[in-house]
Amino acid sequence: MDDRRPISLVIADDHPLILAGLAAMIRDEPALTLLGQAVDGPAAVDMVLRLRPDVLLIDLNMPGGNGVDAIRRIRAALPDARIVILTTWEGDEDVHRGLLAGASAYLLKQSSLEQVVDCVRQVAANRRYLAPGLAEKLAARVPANRLSRRELEILAHLSAGMSNKMIARTENIGVGTVKYHVNNILSKLDVSCRTEAACVAARRGLLHHV
The pLDDT tens digits of the residues spanning 51-86 come to 999 999 999 888 777 788 899 999 999 999 999 998
Rg, C-alpha atoms of the chain: 20
pLDDT score at 191: 82
Residues 60 and 126 in one domain: yes
| Beta-bridge partner residues of 69 | none
**Domain limits at 192?**
144-204
Boundary residue ending a domain (98, 122, 139): 139
pLDDT score at 145: 46
pLDDT score at 2: 53
Residues 127 and 46 in one domain: yes
Q: How far apart are CA 158 and CA 123, in angstroms?
A: 39
- pLDDT band for position 120 (50/70/90)? very high
Residues 150 and 112 in one domain: no
Residues 51 and 131 in one domain: yes
Q: Indicate yes or no: pTM above 0.85.
A: no
CATH of the domain at 96: 3.40.50.2300
Residues 116 and 16 in one domain: yes
- What secondary structure, in 3-state letters, does the chain show? CCCCCCEEEEEECCCHHHHHHHHHHHHCCCCEEEEEEECCHHHHHHHHHHHCCCEEEECCCCCCCCHHHHHHHHHHHCCCCCEEEEECCCCHHHHHHHHHHCCCEEEECCCCHHHHHHHHHHHHCCCCEECCCHHHHHHCCCCHHHCCHHHHHHHHHHHCCCCHHHHHHHHCCCHHHHHHHHHHHHHHHCCCCHHHHHHHHHHHCCCCCC
Q: Higher pLDDT residue, 145 or 127?
A: 127
The pLDDT tens digits of the residues spanning 28-43 come to 899 899 999 999 999 9
Residues 69 and 158 in one domain: no
Span 154-164, average pLDDT: 91
Residues 192 and 121 in one domain: no
pLDDT score at 144: 47
209 assigned to some structural domain: no
Residues 153 and 200 in one domain: yes
Number of domains composing the chain: 2
Closest CA to 120 of 79, 85, 96: 85
- pLDDT band for position 182 (50/70/90)? very high
Percent of the chain with pLDDT over 70: 87
What phi and psi values does residue 190 have, to the nearest 5 degrees?
Answer: 60, 50
Residues 25 and 113 in one domain: yes
Residues 33 and 126 in one domain: yes
Q: Taking all residues of the chain, what is their mean pLDDT, rounded to a whole number?
A: 84
Q: How far apart are CA 195 and CA 190, in angstroms?
A: 12
Residues 13 and 69 in one domain: yes
